[in-house]
Each structure stands twice: as C-alpha cells, then as structure tokens.
Chain A
Amino acid sequence: EDQVTQSPEALRLQEGESSSLNCSYTVSGLRGLFWYRQDPGKGPEFLFTLYSAGEEKEKERLKATLTKKESFLHITAPKPEDSATYLCAVRSFGNEKLTFGTGTRLTIIP
C-alpha cells in the first residue's frame, strides 16, 4: 500500500525567509510524484510532476526535488501570496489512483 507523510504540518515564515517542505513516501514502484497547492475553500492546483530520483522542477519561487524516498518543495524568498496548503501525492505502477499526504499549511507573514 502506498503511503505519503508530509512535514511539518504547519509552517510560518517571514516574508523573504526561505525554507523547505518535506514529503516522504513508500511505494512499490514510483510512477510519479505530484505537488499541488490548495487555497482555502478551493480545489488543489497542480504545481509539479516528478518521475525519477534526481529530477528537479522549478516555477517562480518554488523548486521541487526528488530522491528515492522523499521529495522536497523548496520555497525561496516567499511572499504572502505563497500562503496556502501544499499537498504531495504519489502514484505507483499498477495503481489506478493517487495517494495524498495530509499537507503542509504554509503561512507567509508580511
């Protein structure tokens, strides 16, 4: 059974203070790891897909990296508009669905 654990549950940063969110996973064979952003009361918005260890993806102030056991979402010089819950999910080979973590709630203080 696929498992995803995200840490920390919540993170408060000052504007401009860089940090990282962690996603640890256990799968029989990784088909893809996905990062989403979710604002309160809205559906998750797709950010990145990573397929193999060593892969990196970037978008504005966000950078996602992947190892064989975990993924990191690095946020550089965050702004208040980056405040949201960030969700990590995995899909394994032979599995028809994504398995989600419980998310990290990120708050950026002006």
Chain B
Amino acid sequence: DGGITQSPKYLFRKEGQNVTLSCEQNLNHDAMYWYRQDPGQGLRLIYYSQIVNDFQKGDIAEGYSVSREKKESFPLTVTSAQKNPTAFYLCASSIAPNYGYTFGSGTRLTVV
C-alpha cells in the first residue's frame, strides 16, 4: 500500500544535540512538507519541497534544516539552535496544487 512513513514515532533529544526525523513516501508525489503541531496552535509550516534538490523555508524554519536528494525522501534535522523543539512533527506530501495532503503518522520529539 502507498503511503508516508515517519520514523521514529517517539524521539528524545538532549540539550545541544542535533536529531534527524525521517520521512519516506512511495506515492510518487512531487511535493513534500514538514509541519510542527503544538497544543492549541494550528499546524505551522517548517520547510517544503516541490522538486528534488530544491526546498523553501516555511513560516518557522529557524533552527531546522532539510534535504531532498531523492523524490521519496525528505528528512528534517532539528538543530541545537532550535530552542523549543518539543512538539509533534508531521510530514506530508501532495501530488498537485489542487489536491490536499497525505500525512504521515507523526514523530513526537521531546527534549530531556
């Protein structure tokens, strides 16, 4: 079955540590997105990519980095520069602008 796989489901980060969240899709979608979800707030866009080897900053890109070396993969790195990284992170993909997103199951990141 086609879909988006996020891993790990739970991730713990120590202060000053970089961590990478994985996002893989087998839907053959061109566009991929990373959102952050906090209680009481809507989904906020971190980064997005329309094609391989190209990506754009979203509304809250500071302290995050991404790469898009393959169509299927869009990993997100949470760097030590992100001061409040504890959140639920969602990866999504879309086949075309007229269509909505297909979401992964999310990664919950906690700073310890």
Contacts and interface: CB of A to CB of B under 8 A. Distances in A.
Interface of A: 4, 31-32, 34, 36, 41-46, 49, 51, 87, 89, 91, 96-103
Given A42-B105, A44-B90, A96-B48, A32 B42 contact: no
8 contacts: A32-B99, A43-B90, A44-B101, A44-B103, A46-B102, A49-B100, A89-B43, A91-B97
Interface string B93-110: 000011111111110100
Contacts of A96: 31, 48, 50, 56, 97
Given A41-B108, A96-B48, A89 B100 contact: yes
Contacts, number: 59
Contacts of B6: 43
Interface of B: 4, 6, 31, 33, 35, 40-43, 45, 48, 50, 56, 58, 88, 90, 92, 97-106, 108
A31 B94 CA distance: 14
A35 B61 CA distance: 25
Contact of A42 (B4, B98, B106): B106
Given A41-B108, A46-B102, A100 B97 contact: no
B99 A49 contact: yes
Contact of B42 (A4, A43, A97): A4
Contacts of A45: 103
B58 A98 contact: no
Nearest to A46: B100
Nearest to A33: B100
Given A97-B33, A102-B42, A103-B42, A41 B97 contact: no
A100 B41 CA distance: 9
A44 to B, nearest CB: 5
